[in-house]
Amino acid sequence: GAVVSQHPSWVICKSGTSVKIECRSLDFQATTMFWYRQFPKQSLMLMATSNEGSKATYEQGVEKDKFLINHASLTLSTLTVTSAHPEDSSFYICSARRLAGTGELFFGEGSRLTVL
């Protein structure tokens, strides 16, 4: 099956620093990638939709200046959490929609961010 890779899988950082998370579709092209965050025992919450070559579309309540999203190619999207604070600690997951075929969504393994 299609593979979506996230890196890093976990990261610990100090408050005030910025953290970049990468999402790569390894064996298919994805015009659209999605970023979610998930708190313990809660469902995934869509943060933004990332389209290759254009600006991301953010969900209501998500600060675009804090969560910078770049989708530079058909296989890579990045999420940068700027000036991270402890309340940003969460599980961040990306998904990629296959360009061809049924357009099925494939999820990455997630990135656990802990801000001290």
Partner 1 sequence: KNQVEQSPQSLIILEGKNCTLQCNYTVSPFSNLRWYKQDTGRGPVSLTIMTFSENTKSNGRYTATLDADTKQSSLHITASQLSDSASYICVVGFTGGGNKLTFGTGTQLKVEL
Q: Tell me the residue ranges of DSSP E strands in 26-116.
A: 30-38, 45-51, 57-58, 67-73, 76-81, 90-98, 105-107, 111-115
d(CA 50, CA 18): 20
d(CA 70, CA 80): 8
Q: Would you count residue 46 as binding partner 1 (CB under 8 A)?
A: yes
Among 65, 32, 31, 34, smallest CA distance to 47 is for 34
Please give the angle made by the CA atoms of 112, 39 and 61, to the nearest 5 degrees: 105
Q: Which of the stretches 14-22, 63-71, 72-80, 106-114 binds partner 1 when contact is defined by CB under 8 A?
A: 106-114
Closer to partner 1 by Cβ: residue 6 or 75: 6
Q: Would you count residue 104 as binding partner 1 (CB under 8 A)?
A: yes
- Binding string to partner 1 for residues 48 to 77, with x set by CB under 8 A, is what? -x-------x--------------------
Please pick, from the candidates 7, 11, 20, 44, the single residue that binds partner 1 as defined by CB under 8 A: 44
Q: Would you count residue 91 as binding partner 1 (CB under 8 A)?
A: yes
Query: How many CA atoms lie less than 13 Å away from 35 in the CB half-sphere?
Result: 31
Closer to partner 1 by Cβ: residue 9 or 73: 9
Q: Kindly list the residues in this chain that would bind partner 1 in the complex (CB under 8 A).
A: 4, 6, 32, 34, 41-46, 49, 57, 91, 93, 95, 97, 102-110, 112
